[in-house]
């Protein structure tokens, strides 16, 4: 019986300790502005301009990227190789790319951040109509050498169930009062 009590105490201790900690406060707007300035704005700009090296540079060398729909996990080097091929192919075909993000959750401290939301990807062929795709993302970032870098990125379109309504329901970048 004493062993059972000790086991239950050991299992419950982390939960009891967490319950006694004060609830985390909202992310400071200056942290979210820095994330927007150092991660999200350059991400969108690099994508739209086809600047693949700028896009790659936003990611930590220790990156782990999960592409859930493809059931694949990529390293930084794999992301870089795939991005170079995709950006090159799109440029050769004259396809314009655009990406927008909206957020459902933004948690940030001075050194690390967790952000979830919905992305909208738009591909416009040289001669054709724009095609839109949507998905959910969860990005973890940390400060490396004084700048924010993406260390983990999880994407999923949930079998095609994520759409424009989900995107519009999420919060725009710059809506710092929400967090």
Contact partners, residue 68, CB within 8 Å, separation at least 6: 154, 155, 156
- Residue of higher predicted confidence among 130 and 22: 130
Does the model's pTM come out above 0.85? no
Indicate the CATH number for domain 27-178: 3.10.450.50
Asked whether residue 12 carries a pLDDT value surpassing 90, the answer given is no
**Lowest model confidence (mean pLDDT) among 14-18, 41-45, 150-154:** 14-18
pLDDT at site 17:
43
- The band of 1, judged by pLDDT with boundaries at 50, 70 and 90, is low
CB 145 within 8 A of CB 57: no
Q: Domain coordinates of the chain in residue numbers? A: 27-178
Asked whether residue 9 carries a pLDDT value surpassing 90, the answer given is no
pLDDT at site 26:
57
Instruction: Give CA 87 to chain center in angstroms.
Output: 19
């Amino acid at each position: 019986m004493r062993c059972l009590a000790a086991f239950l105490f050991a299992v419950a201790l982390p939960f009891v300790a967490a319950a006694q900690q004060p609830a985390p406060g909202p992310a400071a707007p200056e942290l979210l502005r820095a994330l927007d300035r150092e991660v999200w704005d350059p991400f969108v700009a690099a994508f739209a301009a086809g600047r693949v090296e700028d896009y790659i540079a936003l990611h930590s060398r220790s990156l782990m990227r999960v592409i859930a729909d493809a059931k694949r996990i990529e390293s930084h080097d794999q992301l870089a190789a795939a991005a170079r091929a995709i950006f090159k192919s799109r440029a050769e075909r004259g396809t314009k790319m655009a990406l927008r993000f909206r957020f459902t959750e933004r948690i940030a401290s001075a050194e690390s951040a967790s952000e979830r939301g919905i992305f909208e990807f738009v591909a416009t062929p040289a001669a054709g109509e724009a095609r839109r795709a949507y998905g959910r993302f969860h990005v973890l970032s940390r400060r490396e050498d004084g700048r924010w870098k993406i260390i983990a990125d999880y994407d999923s379109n949930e079998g095609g169930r994520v759409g424009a309504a989900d995107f519009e329901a999420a919060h725009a970048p710059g809506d710092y009062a929400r967090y």
